[in-house]
Amino acid sequence: MKKILLGNEAIVQGALESGVQYVSAYPGTPSSEIGIVFGKIAQKHGIYFEFAVNEKTAMESAIGSSYSGLKTLVSMKNFGLNVALDAFLPFVYTGAKGATVIVVADDPSCHSSGQSEENSRGFADLAHVPILEPQDAQEAKDFTILAFKLSEKYSVPVILRTTTRVAHQRMPVEIGIINIENKKGEFVKNKNKFVTMPPRVLEMKGELLKKLETMKKDSEKLALISRGKGKLGIITSGVANLHVTEVLRKNNLNIPVLKIGMFNPLPEKKILSFVSDMKEVLIAEELEGFIEKKVKEIAGCKLKIYGKDLLPEIGELSNEKIALALGKLVKKKLFVKRTEKDLKIPLRYPRLCQGCPYWIVFSAIKKMAPEGTIFGGDIGCYMLAGFAPHEIQDYLLSMGSSIGVGHGINKAGGQKVIALIGDSTFFHAGIPALINSVYNKSDLLIFVLDNRITAMTGHQPNPGMGLTGTGESAKEIKIEDIAKACGAENVKTVDPVNMQELQDAIRDFINKKGTSVIVSRRICAYYERKLKKNI
């Protein structure tokens, strides 16, 4: 039986069919639906699910589960893996006990990402971690199942790397049988396996490198050749393969294609045999030319290799981009960019929802902040502070850095900084930066925009609002209590609809010495409407 699934739903289905027992996540587009779906269905299937405080704690939670022998999945967006990296790298060394799949979602073209156009495939050489790259929703499911199998076979965590066009693609997906063994995990003490103290850690590295070497044969099996004619070939992976196939079919081109399913380790033998009777090959991969570099390494200098000289390193690929590049090699016009009149329709930027409490907060901050105040931005809906009519965002970097960087700016030159940060982001990475600001004595005003939910990624619970990821009641951790406990000199909580109180608090705190925290607490208007509709 087939059912239309979103790529992320297909990953959930694959995990269920693999018998997943433990799932942790931190939301981030384009990975968020994985956690959202598990939050809804986990209890029904007897699976443990949590939204963790950040990706590092999500990763650590998953590692604990894996060490206890459970089948485990952890999901995050690309930047999340950066946060989790400190725990992730040694985890790959120790290996997984219970099969473990790490879903990492990249966002070429940055449709829903500030920060950077991160290509998580780059972690392959750093972490020596196996990476699978599905092209569509069906493969998202199949590769999830395969990732669990490989993880079990080699006792190593496996990354399933998706991109926006895979995670947010719908197609009919074959549905299989869900078979989950409900059992308790058990951590069996084994220093040799779980303690990375030297000199053992170096042996572990050796064992890992050996596993990767052996896994090459699995990579070979997953590399598929579509036969064709001629001395020109295409090597591709992920969703780019679908664009390539589209262009070839449309233009009746019979060019051989090698589709790589496992990015790390690469199927070197198959690549070699594929290019052995080629004169030239086009590497069609998104973002940085990692495969291209490897092919150049192994193929020898007789082969003419095209890649990033014909396809952009910035932005996702498309049928048009593939057609343009391929057209140059087959010397035919496969795509003609039509000269279109620029109609000069001004861009429509996203905006705060109707009734969003941030409308009031932004206007109060703008009104009360003295001339020359620096406004620190952070990751959440309040990034819209950067757009008109607000225009209060002078830097934007990564989760929690409104506070951390604001501290640095204040220390460096004494300028006044107001750092804006949301509730989930504060819990995620704001707290160490807050302590640093107190400890190292900067004069900083931190504005925590507590809207009672992780709003931007589709309303996930967080530690500040009294619910867990599966909707059970939980201890509500108060941000003002944390601020006080961290030693912030001035702390005040306001409901922003009390505009006078809000403005007075800003006026009062802006010139105070030390670290000041205003918690503006009012529920996200969109979430409130959702609650009322009960959806």
Partner 1 sequence: MDKNFNIVIAGVGGQGVITLVQLIAEAAFAEGYDVKTSELHGLSQRGGSVETHVRFGKKVWSPLISEGEADLIISLELAETLRKLRYANKNTKFVINGYFFPYPEGLSEEEITGIIGREIKQEKRIVPASKVCQEKLEKEVVSTSYLLGYCVSNELIPLKKESVLKAMENLFPEKYLELNKKAFELVWEN
- Residue 246 lies near partner 1 (rule: CB under 8 A): yes
- Residue 172 lies near partner 1 (rule: CB under 8 A): yes
- Residue 348 lies near partner 1 (rule: CB under 8 A): yes
Residue 35 or 185 with smaller CB distance to partner 1: 35
Comparing CA positions, the residue from 399, 470, 469, 460 lying closest to residue 433 is 399
Residue 59 or 384 with smaller CB distance to partner 1: 384
Comparing CA positions, the residue from 27, 104, 105, 21 lying closest to residue 66 is 21
Q: Which of residues 247-306 bind partner 1 (CB under 8 A)?
A: 249
DSSP 3-state assignment of 109?
coil
- Stretch in the footprint of partner 1 (CB under 8 A) among 10-18, 222-230, 378-386, 392-400: 378-386
Q: How far is the CB of 355 from partner 1 (least distance, A)?
A: 12
Q: How far is CA 309 from CA 237, 241, 469, 471, in A?
A: 18, 18, 46, 50
- Residue 112 lies near partner 1 (rule: CB under 8 A): yes
Residue 117 or 218 with smaller CB distance to partner 1: 117
Helix (H) or strand (E) holding 520: strand 515-521
CB neighbour class for 503 (10 Å; exposed up to 12, middle 13-18, buried from 19): middle
- Residue 139 lies near partner 1 (rule: CB under 8 A): no
Q: Specify whether the CB–CB gap between 25 and 58 falls below 8 A.
A: yes
How far is Cα 143 from Cα 260, in angstroms, rounded to an integer?
12
Interacting residue with partner 1 among 199, 346, 372, 413 (CB under 8 A) = 346
Comparing CA positions, the residue from 373, 462, 379 lying closest to residue 422 is 379
Strand order in the sheet with 444-450: 374-376, 417-422, 444-450, 515-521, 490-494
Comparing CA positions, the residue from 110, 108, 104 lying closest to residue 81 is 104
Report the alpha-carbon angle 276-279-284, nearest 5: 90
In one-letter notation, the amino acid at residue 280 is: E
Interacting residue with partner 1 among 353, 397, 435, 477 (CB under 8 A) = 353
Q: Which of residues 387-406 bind partner 1 (CB under 8 A)?
A: 388-389
Binding mask 464-483 for partner 1 (x = CB under 8 A): --------------------
DSSP state of 353: P
- Stretch in the footprint of partner 1 (CB under 8 A) among 86-94, 170-178, 223-231, 496-504: 170-178
- Stretch in the footprint of partner 1 (CB under 8 A) among 46-54, 163-171, 293-301, 367-375: 163-171
- Residue 363 lies near partner 1 (rule: CB under 8 A): no
Q: How far is the CB of 340 from partner 1 (least distance, A)?
A: 6
Residue 363 or 493 with smaller CB distance to partner 1: 363
Binding mask 118-137 for partner 1 (x = CB under 8 A): ------------------x-
- Stretch in the footprint of partner 1 (CB under 8 A) among 204-212, 218-226, 318-326, 439-447: 318-326
How far is Cα 251 from Cα 273, in angstroms, rounded to an integer?
26
**Token pair for 364:** 């109060």
Q: Which of residues 400-459 bind partner 1 (CB under 8 A)?
A: 456-458
DSSP state of 429: I
How far is Cα 419 from Cα 435, in angstroms, rounded to an integer?
14
- Residue 347 lies near partner 1 (rule: CB under 8 A): yes
- Residue 352 lies near partner 1 (rule: CB under 8 A): yes
Q: How far is CA 273 from CA 268, 285, 303, in A?
A: 9, 20, 12
Interacting residue with partner 1 among 9, 12, 18, 33 (CB under 8 A) = 33
Residue 112 or 373 with smaller CB distance to partner 1: 112
Distance of CA 14 to the CA centre of its chain: 19
- Stretch in the footprint of partner 1 (CB under 8 A) among 25-33, 37-45, 190-198, 402-410: 25-33
Number of CB atoms found within 10 A of residue 17's CB: 19
Q: How far is the CB of 209 from partner 1 (least distance, A)?
A: 37
What residue ranges bind partner 1 (CB under 8 A)? Answer: 2, 4, 29-30, 32-33, 111-112, 136, 164-165, 168-172, 239, 242-243, 245-246, 249, 318-320, 323, 335, 337-338, 340-341, 343, 345-353, 381, 383-384, 388-389, 456-458, 535
